[in-house]
């Protein structure tokens, strides 16, 4: 796709899964959980503990947060989040461009 290959998450047709597909998948998971939790809470006569909506953007923020918690250099975080994630292909497995694009460390 666009000269890139090696995507981690692919559709059954071998195409990379785009953020809208991930969002749909996450929405279905949250809805299924909340439906089951609501039913169980009603049976147990308690308030349900529902999951909030989750999106691919939420996962992006979580990833960045975890990098920060692990003391990753902010320049590396900026590179990872700005360069790879904004490329339109968020699940690329190819990290070999890190050195050639100026990333200061090997983050594999």
pLDDT at 36 over 90: yes
Per-residue pLDDT band at 100 (split at 50, 70, 90):
very low
Per-residue pLDDT band at 83 (split at 50, 70, 90):
low
- Closest-CA residue to 66 (of 80, 52, 54): 80
- Quick one: pLDDT at residue 61? 87
Residue 95 to residue 88: CA distance in whole angstroms: 15
CB 16 within 8 A of CB 10: yes
- The residue ranking higher by pLDDT, 43 or 81, is 43
- The residue ranking higher by pLDDT, 7 or 25, is 25
């Amino acid at each position: 796709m666009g000269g890139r290959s090696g995507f981690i998450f692919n559709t059954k047709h071998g195409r990379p899964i785009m953020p809208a597909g991930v969002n749909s998948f996450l929405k279905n998971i949250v809805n299924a959980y909340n439906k089951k939790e609501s039913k169980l809470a009603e049976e147990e006569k308690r308030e349900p503990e529902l999951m909030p909506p989750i999106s691919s953007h939420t996962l992006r923020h979580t990833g960045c947060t975890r990098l920060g918690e692990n003391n990753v250099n902010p320049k590396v975080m900026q590179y990872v989040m700005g360069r790879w994630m904004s490329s339109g292909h968020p699940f690329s497995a190819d990290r070999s461009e890190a050195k050639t694009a100026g990333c200061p460390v090997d983050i594999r």
